[in-house]
């Protein structure tokens, strides 16, 4: 019954989204305020319908209703409740439902917080969002209905992919989707600006918090994904340049460029058409990511034939939405003239350079992701593009970006004085240089040019990040008054840039000083790695709710005193016949010790010798700490007072409007 | 005019994706079908003994699957192969243009559906077999003749409709 209710709610949501598009469009043409107002109500109705559909599917999972095909394919009677709830987004159909729910959630938020916007702009934004939602609802109803029944009803489900049975995977996809989908709000604002022809600093102040919020969630989603891969895949890595990862990273790079170009547009009224183009690009990339990961085109050029309808649909939708927006751009953008001129050595000039590097990096990643397809299209064979390519193009592009960041926070808007800037930058630059040479030797006893360069970039960023903050505090007579006067967007910027520096420090240390060793150990034997002694105490069998596992025990000692006991596991999930590695990790602020259980040397005897992989991962926590700081920084920026003040005058206008209508 | 550049670029990317969507590399004909499998002799993965040569494949129908740890498509077909192995189908794995360690790690992580895994680290045997890109899977008759070649992942459908009947036919 609940499956049918959910299906029905989806159909009603489609109807609501149609209203959300058509009625405001009519209102816009005829200048009918009442029709424009329908956008909000339709958006709110749509959200509640999506929520109903989502809860219905969740209920089917909790209830173990294997007569629903999607539940039967992704659940199992022994699956713990927590994973039954998260299994809703464990595969294709459900993740689109979550996508749709979040889109309607963002739309709801826009309809609530933007009541103070000029009515035509608000209605246009909602109509664009409604159009996107309509596309996704049609996609779900036509090609991937999560509520489809199956007959005969299977007695047992096929279980959730064991890779997804991990706490990290419960929060990772929703956070990432929040970011992906949030970019649609920036897109809708951009399209609305093109349609209404109004792109002033007020528009930027309305757009910025939404974009920053989406960016923050995207950052957090990627960070969580990396953390999950580290814990679950057992390879000790935190980033694999996998097409699926790239699909989330490309929009992140574009969105990072966008939040910076929005700053230029707000402060200086420059780069207007570029900002609009970036907003379109961000959303195009997040749709492209959906296409790439969902159609199977990239995972394997071959795999596709299994379900062509889905790929064709997403591709057509992408063509329609992005093609429509870009056509509109080609037609209307010439009117978005920028005021004033741009000097290269000024904050806006440096931010423009930041955009150049970010967008180039983004296209580099896009190229690497699509390259196998290009080669195939021109009949040149088949290749797989791996990490060497991505590292070779990505890091050289990132290095100047870090240098620019330090320069940028020093340089005032409009015009900077190059000589003055360089003079004042001497101190942090030299400090970073000395520390970059000394620190690796002090901590690790060895260094190299690449490591020193990387540490310099990280320390340079860390040293320059708080400059704006310090400047603002110093401008006030007392420290306390200064601290109170700092706007939260400055806190946000400082935190995010500090996070970036932390990330760099982590990346450099873990790549430069990480140690990996494959060993063969029997119970009672030991292996040594970077001063730590790993004592293997053997493997015993243990049993979980829906898996059996070989549970190893490894005691780590240093200088004779025990530090920690690790329990790496190999789990067999009988329902899918797959084996998962659960790593044992001793977490420390400056180093992780990481043990992954390999195979027993003699397969019949798990009490015998085992192959184990031992890792020493210095500073790896900094990689994720950096991501978390960027996330918090994003949230701080979003809360800035001036975004709320910007709406105050508009309030009176729209109330006036409402009275006229009433 | 410069404002129209983005849409032109986008049309290019869309054409490419459309190509990827419609292009079916399975249609590439293999000149080896109906002919005996090319001669080869490969070491086992990880330098371990079971040497593998043509003689080992004769006497019963087998599947020969070229895979690699770096190949995304191989991960797609892997559950199908695992299922086939469970049903008692004999699959010979040939790790193509890979390293011993990566290949072994990949099998460790995803499970090993193969009776024997041979290492074709330079891709020399693959060249003789006409491997176009991994994964590729060959159905061999009892006398060592290549009956069928699947370019790209083995799906349940391909197995059911094309490979299983050949395997059953070759047995009798």
Using CA atoms, how far apart are residues A123 and A118, in angstroms rounded to an integer? Answer: 9
Using CA atoms, how far apart are residues B69 and A421, in angstroms rounded to an integer? Answer: 51
Please give the angle made by the CA atoms of A433, A623 and A387, to the nearest 5 degrees: 95
Query: Within an 8 Å CB–CB cutoff, is residue B124 touching chain A?
Result: no
The domain locations on chain B are 27-171
Tell me how close the Cα of A233 comes to any Cα of chain B, in angstroms. Answer: 8
Residue A488 counted as domain residue? no
Asked whether the beta carbons of B129 and B138 are under 8 A apart, the reply is yes
Using CA atoms, how far apart are residues A190 and A274, in angstroms rounded to an integer? Answer: 11
pLDDT (mean) for A360-384? 77
SS3 A26: helix
Asked whether the beta carbons of A3 and A65 are under 8 A apart, the reply is yes
Q: Are strands B146-151 and A561-566 parallel, antiparallel or unpaired?
A: unpaired
* Backbone φ, ψ for residue A602 (5° rounding): -110, 110
pLDDT at site B54: 80
Alpha helices for A238-344 (secondary structure H):
243-268, 272-295, 308-332
Higher-confidence position of B166 and A294: B166
Please say if the pLDDT value at position B26 is more than 50.
Answer: no
Q: Do B76 and A303 touch (CB under 8 A)?
A: yes
The per-residue pLDDT for range A162-206, each reduced to its tens digit, is 778 888 778 888 899 899 999 999 999 999 999 988 888 889 988
Using CA atoms, how far apart are residues B142 and A227, in angstroms rounded to an integer? Answer: 49
**A277, A300, A518 member nearest B72 (Cβ):** A300
Give the count of domains, chain A. Answer: 2
Q: Do B3 and A374 touch (CB under 8 A)?
A: no
Chain A residues closer than 8 Å to B10 by CB: 284, 322-323, 326
Per-residue pLDDT band for A520 (boundaries 50, 70, 90) equals confident
pLDDT at site A161: 79
Residue A161 counted as domain residue? yes
pLDDT at site B172: 52
Q: Are strands A548-558 and A569-573 parallel, antiparallel or unpaired?
A: antiparallel
Q: What is the pTM of this model?
A: 0.82
Domain-terminating residue out of A121, A140, A165: A165
Nearest CA in chain B to A162: B110
The per-residue pLDDT for range B110-142, each reduced to its tens digit, is 888 998 888 888 878 888 887 767 788 999 888
Tell me how close the Cα of B151 comes to any Cα of chain A, in angstroms. Answer: 8
Q: Do A243 and B72 touch (CB under 8 A)?
A: yes
pLDDT at site B150: 84
Asked whether the beta carbons of A473 and A466 are under 8 A apart, the reply is no
Using CA atoms, how far apart are residues A596 and B11, in angstroms rounded to an integer? Answer: 46
Using CA atoms, how far apart are residues A291 and B97, in angstroms rounded to an integer? Answer: 29
Q: Do B25 and A376 touch (CB under 8 A)?
A: yes
pLDDT (mean) for B42-46? 82
Q: Which two tokens stand for residue A149?
A: 């029944």
pLDDT at site A298: 54
Q: Could you say which DSSP state residue A149 is in?
A: B
Q: Which residues fall within 8 angstroms of residue A159, CB to CB, at 6 or more apart?
A: A74, A75, A76, A79, A546, A573, A575, A576
Asked whether the beta carbons of A315 and B14 are under 8 A apart, the reply is yes
The per-residue pLDDT for range A314-354, each reduced to its tens digit, is 888 989 999 999 999 999 988 887 767 788 888 999 999 99
Nearest CA in chain B to A304: B21
The per-residue pLDDT for range B47-92, each reduced to its tens digit, is 666 678 888 888 888 999 999 887 777 887 888 899 888 888 889 9
The per-residue pLDDT for range A534-557, each reduced to its tens digit, is 999 988 888 888 888 889 999 999
pLDDT at site A578: 72
Chain A residues closer than 8 Å to B6 by CB: 277, 280-281, 326, 329-330
Q: Which two tokens stand for residue A31?
A: 């200048």
Tell me how close the Cα of A378 comes to any Cα of chain B, in angstroms. Answer: 10
Q: Could you say which DSSP state residue A153 is in?
A: P
What is B27-171's CATH topology?
A: Glutaredoxin (3.40.30)
Per-residue pLDDT band for B29 (boundaries 50, 70, 90) equals low
Q: Are strands A569-573 and A578-582 parallel, antiparallel or unpaired?
A: antiparallel
Please say if the pLDDT value at position A295 is more than 80.
Answer: no
Q: Do B3 and A233 touch (CB under 8 A)?
A: no
pLDDT at site B22: 67
Asked whether the beta carbons of A578 and B111 are under 8 A apart, the reply is yes
Please say if the pLDDT value at position A305 is more than 60.
Answer: no
Per-residue pLDDT band for A421 (boundaries 50, 70, 90) equals confident
Q: Do B21 and A297 touch (CB under 8 A)?
A: yes
Please say if the pLDDT value at position A525 is more than 50.
Answer: yes
Using CA atoms, how far apart are residues A196 and A183, in angstroms rounded to an integer? Answer: 20
The per-residue pLDDT for range A463-504, each reduced to its tens digit, is 999 988 998 899 888 888 888 889 999 999 999 999 999 999
Q: Which residues of A114-148 are buried (b: 16+ CB within 10 A; e: fewer)?
A: bbbbbbbbbbbbbbbbbbbbbbbbebbeebbbbbe
Q: Do B7 and A329 touch (CB under 8 A)?
A: yes
Query: Within an 8 Å CB–CB cutoff, is residue B162 touching chain A?
Result: no
pLDDT at site B28: 53
Mutate to test the interface with B, among A302, A374, A380, A598 (most CBs of B within 10 A): A302
Query: Within an 8 Å CB–CB cutoff, is residue B111 touching chain A?
Result: yes
Residue A380 counted as domain residue? no
* Residue A29, phi-psi category: left (phi > 0), alpha (psi -120 to 50), beta (remainder): alpha
Chain A residues closer than 8 Å to B75 by CB: 299
The per-residue pLDDT for range A139-156, each reduced to its tens digit, is 999 988 999 998 888 888
Using CA atoms, how far apart are residues A197 and A193, in angstroms rounded to an integer? Answer: 5
Query: Within an 8 Å CB–CB cutoff, is residue B27 touching chain A?
Result: no
Give the residue numbers spanning the domain of A538.
Answer: 515-621
Angle between helices A347-377 and A387-410 (to 10 degrees): 170
Chain A residues closer than 8 Å to B45 by CB: none
Please say if the pLDDT value at position A292 is more than 80.
Answer: no
Mean pLDDT, rounded, of chain A: 87
Per-residue pLDDT band for A376 (boundaries 50, 70, 90) equals low
Q: Do B16 and A374 touch (CB under 8 A)?
A: yes
Chain B residues closer than 8 Å to A578 by CB: 79, 82, 110-111
Percent of chain B with pLDDT over 70: 88
Mutate to test the interface with A, among B8, B9, B10, B15 (most CBs of A within 10 A): B10
Please say if the pLDDT value at position A661 is more than 50.
Answer: no
Q: Could you say which DSSP state residue A304 is in?
A: G
Please say if the pLDDT value at position A297 is more than 70.
Answer: no
pLDDT at site B23: 62
Q: Do A373 and B17 touch (CB under 8 A)?
A: yes
CB atoms within 10 A of CB A543: 9
Residue A522 counted as domain residue? yes
Q: Do A373 and B72 touch (CB under 8 A)?
A: no
CB atoms within 10 A of CB A297: 26
Please say if the pLDDT value at position B169 is more than 80.
Answer: no
Q: Do A330 and B71 touch (CB under 8 A)?
A: no
Q: Could you say which DSSP state residue A548 is in?
A: E
């Amino acid at each position: 019954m609940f499956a049918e209710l959910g299906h029905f709610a989806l159909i009603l949501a489609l109807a609501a989204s149609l209203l959300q598009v058509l009625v405001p469009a009519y209102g816009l043409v005829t200048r009918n305020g009442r029709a424009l107002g329908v956008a909000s109500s339709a958006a709110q109705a749509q959200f509640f319908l999506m929520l109903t559909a989502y809860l219905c599917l969740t209920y089917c999972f909790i209830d173990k209703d294997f007569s629903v095909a999607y539940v039967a394919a992704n659940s199992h009677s022994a699956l713990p409740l927590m994973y039954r709830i998260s299994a809703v987004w464990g595969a294709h159909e459900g993740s689109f439902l979550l996508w749709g729910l979040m889109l309607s959630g963002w739309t709801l938020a826009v309809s609530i917080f933007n009541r103070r916007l000029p009515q035509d702009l608000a209605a246009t934004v909602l109509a664009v969002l409604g159009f996107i939602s309509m596309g996704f609802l049609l996609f779900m109803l036509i090609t991937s209905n999560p509520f489809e029944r199956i007959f005969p009803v299977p007695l047992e489900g096929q279980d959730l992919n064991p890779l997804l049975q991990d706490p990290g995977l419960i929060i990772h996809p929703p956070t990432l989707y929040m970011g992906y989908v949030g970019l649609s709000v920036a897109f809708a604002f951009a399209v609305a600006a093109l349609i209404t022809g109004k792109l002033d600093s007020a528009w930027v102040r309305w757009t910025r918090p939404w974009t920053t919020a989406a960016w923050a969630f995207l950052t957090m989603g990627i960070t969580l994904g990396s953390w999950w891969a580290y814990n679950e895949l057992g390879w000790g890595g935190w980033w694999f340049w996998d097409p699926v990862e790239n699909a989330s990273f490309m929009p992140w790079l574009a969105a990072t460029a966008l939040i910076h170009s929005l700053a230029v547009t707000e402060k200086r009224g420059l780069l207007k058409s570029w900002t609009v183009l970036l907003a379109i690009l961000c959303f195009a990339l997040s749709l492209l990511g959906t296409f790439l990961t969902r159609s199977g085109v990239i995972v394997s050029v071959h795999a596709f034939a299994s379900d062509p309808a889905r790929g064709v649909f997403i591709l057509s939708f992408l063509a329609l939405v992005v093609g429509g927006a870009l056509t509109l751009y080609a037609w209307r953008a010439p009117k978005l003239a920028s005021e004033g001129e741009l000097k290269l050595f000024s904050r806006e000039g440096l931010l423009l350079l930041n955009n150049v590097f970010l967008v180039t990096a983004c296209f580099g990643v896009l190229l690497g992701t699509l390259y196998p397809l290009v080669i195939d299209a021109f009949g040149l064979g088949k290749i797989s593009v791996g990490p060497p390519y991505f590292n070779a193009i990505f890091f050289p592009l990132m290095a100047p970006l870090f240098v620019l960041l330090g320069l940028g926070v020093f340089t005032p808007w409009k015009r900077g004085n190059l000589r003055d800037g360089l003079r004042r930058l001497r101190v942090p630059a030299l400090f970073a240089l000395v520390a970059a040479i000394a620190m690796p030797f002090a901590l690790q006893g060895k260094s190299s040019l690449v490591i020193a360069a990387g540490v310099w970039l990280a320390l340079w960023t860390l040293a320059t990040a708080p400059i704006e903050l310090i400047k603002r505090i110093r401008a006030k007579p007392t420290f306390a008054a200064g601290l109170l006067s700092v706007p939260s967007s400055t806190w946000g910027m400082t935190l995010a840039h500090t996070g970036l520096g932390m990330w760099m420090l982590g990346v450099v240390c873990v790549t430069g000083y990480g140690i990996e060793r494959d060993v063969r150990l029997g119970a009672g034997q030991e292996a040594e790695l970077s001063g730590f002694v790993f004592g293997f105490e053997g493997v015993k069998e243990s049993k979980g709710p829906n898996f059996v596992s070989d549970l190893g025990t490894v005691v780590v000692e240093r200088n004779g005193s025990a530090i920690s006991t690790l329990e790496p596991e190999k789990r067999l999930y009988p329902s899918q016949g797959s084996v998962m590695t659960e790593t044992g990790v001793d977490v420390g602020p400056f180093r992780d010790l990481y043990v992954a259980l390999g195979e027993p040397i003699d397969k019949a005897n798990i009490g015998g010798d085992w192959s184990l992989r031992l890792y020493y991962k210095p500073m790896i926590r900094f990689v994720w700490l950096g991501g978390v700081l960027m996330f918090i920084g994003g949230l701080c920026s979003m809360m800035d007072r001036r975004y709320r003040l910007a709406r105050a005058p508009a309030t009176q206008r729209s109330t006036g409007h409402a009275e006229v209508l009433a | 005019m410069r404002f129209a550049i983005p849409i032109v670029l986008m049309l290019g990317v869309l054409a490419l994706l459309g190509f990827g969507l419609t292009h079916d590399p399975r249609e590439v004909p293999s000149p080896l079908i109906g002919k005996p499998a090319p001669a080869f002799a490969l070491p086992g993965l990880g330098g371990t003994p079971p040497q593998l040569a043509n003689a080992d494949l004769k006497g019963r129908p087998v599947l020969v699957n070229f895979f690699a740890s770096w190949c995304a498509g191989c991960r797609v077909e892997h559950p199908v192969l695992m299922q086939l192995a469970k049903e008692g189908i004999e699959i010979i794995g040939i790790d193509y243009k890979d390293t011993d360690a990566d290949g072994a790690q990949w099998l460790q992580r995803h499970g090993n559906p193969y009776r024997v895994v041979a290492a074709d680290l330079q891709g020399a045997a693959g060249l003789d077999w006409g491997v176009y890109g991994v994964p590729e899977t060959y159905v061999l008759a009892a006398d060592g003749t290549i009956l069928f070649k699947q370019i790209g992942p083995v799906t349940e459908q391909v197995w059911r409709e094309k490979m299983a009947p050949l395997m059953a036919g070759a047995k009798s």
